[in-house]
Each structure stands twice: as structure tokens, then as C-alpha cells.
A and B are shown apart, each in its own frame.
Chain A
Amino acid sequence: MTATVLDVDLLPALACAGVRHRFGDHTAVDGVDLIVQQGELFGLLGPNGAGKTTLIRLLNTQLPLQEGAISVEGHDVRRSPMAIRRLLGYVPQQLSIEAALTGRENVAWFARLFDVPRRERKARVADALETMGLSDAADRLAGTYSGGMVRRLELAQALVNRPALLVLDEPTVGLDPIARAGVWQRVEELRAATGMTVLLTTHYMEEADALCDRVALMHLGTIRADGTPTELKESVGPDATLEDVFRHYTGGSLGAETSRGLREIRRTRRAARRVG
């Protein structure tokens, strides 16, 4: 294992340097350098199997860092994992709520787990539910929510500790277009209201184009290009889309890489089970 020293003048929200992670003989993340500045809405784009989720799981301390360095708000993931967890709001790829609790109880659960003081808890829970437009449904069992409402409930859970960095791993996957639009609207409103740094992963290029201040294209564990969507599109040619940019830098289309990515995922999971 080697540690790379981070060299940044300003304190970024997230800094990754030389990050590499293997599952057995499969390299899921292969030398990633990445800076996300304070207040940015940053998109990590790539097909399934590109290594986006592994990178997220490294920065949120779920996986041990094998090689390289990651800091979140100046805290090193190896030295201060608990401090980092306090600063993060995290929405995983799967729809993940406790269906046997109400929406309010789901959010209050995470308020307690993040040690939100008791005197503030009730108001903070109500505020998070209100921000996500769930006040009216707050006392219904979460098992009765639609997919879009579940996602918004997860966002409310992730916001209740007032995180410095909100991490959304494929937040709209599996949602219908209306629900997807609803989730993005809430994320944009939230960011406009708070200036919070948001890191999201997605393979919906058009959504990233419309939403993100900067994006990084990830493919087979490496960052192939990063910049603002406009810069990246201009680097390829007039009228180029982010899909064209992706094709230009990776040599393949997103759709073709997705099927290859599924094979990669299966291989990665098998390897993870073997070494786990």
C-alpha cells in the first residue's frame, strides 16, 4: 500500500489522489485523482461497472482505502472516518427505507443516529420532510410510498444532519421520468437554498448536462475527462452532447459499455465474495 500526499491550496469538499481499489484480481478503481470544490454540484458519470459506486464507498468510509488518499472537508478517510461520516449525507443506489416505519420515524431514526440534539430533533425532522415535500405523507407508513416519494424520503434522511457534502449514488435509477424530474428539482432547490456541495453519480448524460457545474467521465476505473459540461462538449465539437463526449474519450457508446459493465459487476461481486 502507498499513501499519496494531497497537495491542495484551498480546502476542497472532496479530494482524491491516486486512489486505487481491487477486489481480488479485478481493479475496480484505477488511480483516480479528483477534486470537488465547495458548493459544486459535481457529476461522476459512467456506465454500470465504471467504478463510480466503489469510489463512493471508499470516500464514505464503507470500504477500507487500499491505495492513494481521500479527504473529505480536510479529513483523511484513514485517520478520521467518524468525522467524515458526520459530514456526509448519503443516498445509496438502492431504494432503502424502513417500510415498517412512517416517513417521520424514518427521518427521526437517522436524526438520532447522527446525534441531532433532542431539543432540535423534532423541528429538524419536520424541516427535512418539508424540504422534500413530504409533510403531508409524513405519518404514513413508508411502505405505502411511491418510488419517487421513497427517494425524496431518503434525501430527507440524508439532510437531517445538515451535511457538508451530499453524496447521491444513482439517485434516479429505476424511477419514472416524472419522479426523476421531481428528485432533481428538489436537489436543485436544496442546493440553491443552502449552497451545499453535492456529488452525484449517474449514467443519464442529459440529466448531468442540465444539472451539474462540473462532471468527470469515469470508465473502467479511471477518470477519462473532467470539466464543465460546456467545456467538455466544446472539446469534442459543435453540437456535441455529453454522450458524444463520452464516446470520444472512451472509444465506445454508453449503451455498449453498459452490457460490458454488467459483466464487470458480476465479476467484481464474485471477486468481492471470494476475498470477503
Chain B
Amino acid sequence: MSAEVAPNLWLRFPSRVNTFCIVELQKLSHDRTELFTRAVQPILWLVVFGQTFNRIHAIPTGDVPYLDFLAPGVIAQSGLFVAIFYGIQIIWERDAGVLTKLLVTPTPRAALILGKSFAAGIRAFAQVIVVLIVSALLGVALSTNPVHIIGALVVVVLGAAFFSCLSMTIAGVVLKRDRLMGIGQMITMPLFFASNALYPVSVMPSWLRALSSVNPLSYEVDALRGLLIGTPDHLGPDFLVLIVAVVAGVLTASSLVDRLAR
């Protein structure tokens, strides 16, 4: 009997991210139902809301058709909806005893949370592929530049990683699935509406603009619009905000994970 040689602490982080992403893909491969059920809502946003508002020109989006303007917002929203309830999984793992076992593997708490948050990103990523296909079918003029598409997928993963950390942080505070469900439902729509996903920041009242400026979803949508439909972007600040948000989310959620396992 022998224990494995310990890899460098910093190498353990990408290794754990890789591990949790593989596990998430394996779960998805065994049950693809969620991919289709979760696709219904964004399709409704695009097909019903998007096409209607595209005709009535109620929201000023300049030269960009409203459906094109909306598509990146709906992509970000799909990732948000997947990630914001991801904390339920960690509570389920706690209840099933799996978390206890994970916590006694040679995995730093921050690496565990980072791994799980990127696994949420993978789930959102799969979702976004469906939304991208639907958007293209509806005639949204999406960029075909592979660098832009890869960049957009990275943005989606970062956004989902942050919101899943937020969800796991809430899980670490409330400890119960029902409470997390309630809080998740309570904050999802305010996060969505207090962002530039549905309308430009310029039409928002000042108080909503202030909320939007501290909402990571707005930076995610801004980056997606720049990458996918070529609107003027602020990619540097957008990526910086998302990366800082993920780091802060990982540190906060990992400080609470032991509380879940007690």
C-alpha cells in the first residue's frame, strides 16, 4: 500500500477543475433531459419576447436589431439560471454524504469550490450551445470568428462560475435546500432585470444604472455583445471584473464549505 506523490499545490487547482468538469460531462452524458428542458425558457425569450419587441421597436438599440441585441443577454441569462441553483447540488452532496468524502481527499477547499464552479460553467456551456443554435436559426447575425466564439464561451463559463459560487455561498449560509431555492428564486430576476441583458444601460433610471454597474451579469452581457454581435465593447474591464468576481466568489464560498459538512 502506498499513497500517491503529492503534486505541487498550484497544479492541484487545474487538476481538480479538470476532474469536476469531467464528472459534470459524464453526468450530462447519462441524462440529457436537462439540456432540453432548460432550453425552453431561453427559446421563449428569443422567440416570443425577442421577436415581438423586434417588431415594435420599443427599446432603442441603435442600428442593431433588437433580437440581435437580446441574444447575448439571453445567453448570459441561461448561464445565470443554471448556475444560481448550483448550490442545491452541494447541499444534496452534503445530505448524501458525498461532500464529507470530498472534504477528506487531498483537495484544498478553494480547489474544490473552483472545480465545482467550473463544472457549473460546463453545464452552462452546454446550455449556451443550444441557445446559440436557436439564435442563428432565428437570423441573429452572430459572429462566425472562431476566436470571438471561443471568447464568448469563456465569458459564459466565467459568469456561470461566479454565480455558482454565489449560490454555494448562500448554501453555506442557509444550509437547507428549500431556503436556497427560495433565495435563488428571489434574486434571479432582480439580477436579470438589473443588468443590460434586456435593454441598454442608457435607458435605465439612475438607481437601476447604479445597480447594473455592480452586477457582474452586466459585464458578462457587455462582453458577449462585443464578441458575438460586434457592438462597441470594453473587453478588458469586462474580463477583469469577471475574473475578480470569480476569485472573490471562490474565496467566500470555500470559507463556508466546512460549515456545510458539520
- Which residues of A are in contact with B by a Cβ distance under 8 Å? 60-63, 82-83, 85-88, 90, 92-98, 100-102, 105, 109-110, 112-117, 141, 157, 161-164, 194-196, 272-273, 276
Contact = CB atoms under 8 A, between A and B. Distances in A.
B100 interface: yes
A82 B18 CA distance: 20
B105 A116 contact: no
B5 interface: yes
Question: From DSSP, what is the main secondary structure of chain A's interface residues?
Answer: loop
A113 B107 CA distance: 7
Interface residues of B, number: 34
Nearest to B115: A113
A93 B104 contact: no
B15 A162 contact: no
B102 A113 contact: yes
A113 B5 CA distance: 12
B104 A86 contact: no
Which 8 pairs between the two chains have the least Cβ-Cβ distance? Answer: A96-B97, A94-B97, A86-B3, A113-B105, A112-B19, A85-B106, A100-B27, A115-B4
A114 B4 contact: yes
A10 B31 CA distance: 52
B98 A90 contact: no
B1 interface: yes
Contact of A90 (B4, B101, B262): B101
B23 A62 contact: no
Given A62-B103, A85-B105, A115 B23 contact: no
Contacts of B145: none
Contacts of B1: 162-164, 194-196
Contact of A96 (B7, B18, B101, B175): B101
A190 B96 CA distance: 26
B11 to A, nearest CB: 9
A164 B3 contact: yes
Contacts of B102: 113
Contacts of B97: 92-96
Interface in B139-159: none
B17 to A, nearest CB: 11
B259 A276 contact: yes
Contacts of B206: none
A118 B155 CA distance: 30
A112 B98 contact: no
Interface string B86-128: 0000000000111011111111100000000000000000000
B3 A117 contact: no
B98 to A, nearest CB: 5
B225 interface: no
Interface in B1-26: 1-7, 12, 15-16, 18-19, 22-23, 26
